[in-house]
Amino acid sequence: MQIVATMFWRRHDLPGHDACRLEKHGDGWQLDGAAVFRSENGQPARLDYRVHCDKAWHAKWGRVRGWVGSLPVDFAIARATNGEWSLNDQRVPGLAHCTDLDLGFTPATNLLPLRRLNLQVGESAEAPAAWLDLDNEDLSALAQHYERRSEAEYWYQSPRFDYEGLLVTMPEGFVTHYPTLWQPEG
């Protein structure tokens, strides 16, 4: 294991922080992080997460553990070789077109499609993701669109959340500025 980059964010929309590191694991990649925040319903939360990708940045599996308020959280997410996704060993239909895994409580997982797509300045692409919904305890499709505007800037759109903004990234791929949602701390 080799640590490639680390990141520490502060949330804007709710009180919270997130710390993550990108690791090279053999011929694959791994995000390893922890988020501490106040949930949308006002409950304190602490979530540890790990997402593993193959060498081409295709998500293979993820794990989220911790708690929100008094409720324990323990999700095991996997993507089979045929593209099918599962949540806690239960198949989730309709997500085979999703290459990436998006954990909505952290900006860390935006790194996955940015690295996988490897867009040149002026190029754009759709990047559908399997999105973990903590409130409903399920996985669903999340449409995302990225357009590279400069070496470090991407125009990002997520119609499901009626969100769009100019993401600024570091060379390793972590988002350093996520308008109205996240910014680096320190």
Domain that holds residue 26: 2-184
Question: Per residue in 32-66, pLDDT tens?
Answer: 999 999 998 899 999 999 999 999 999 999 999 99
Q: Which of 23, 20, 40, 39 is nearest to 107 (CA)?
A: 20
Specify the number of domains making up the chain. 1
Say what the pLDDT of residue 73 is.
97
Half-sphere exposure of 20 (CA within 13 A, CB side): 27
Mean predicted lDDT score pLDDT of the chain: 96
Q: Is pLDDT above 80 for 174?
A: yes
Question: What is the dihedral angle through the alpha carbons of 17, 110, 166, 118, rounded to the nearest 10 degrees?
Answer: 150
Say what the pLDDT of residue 17 is.
98
Question: Per residue in 81-118, pLDDT tens?
Answer: 899 999 999 999 999 999 999 999 999 999 999 999 99
Identity of the residue numbered 57: W
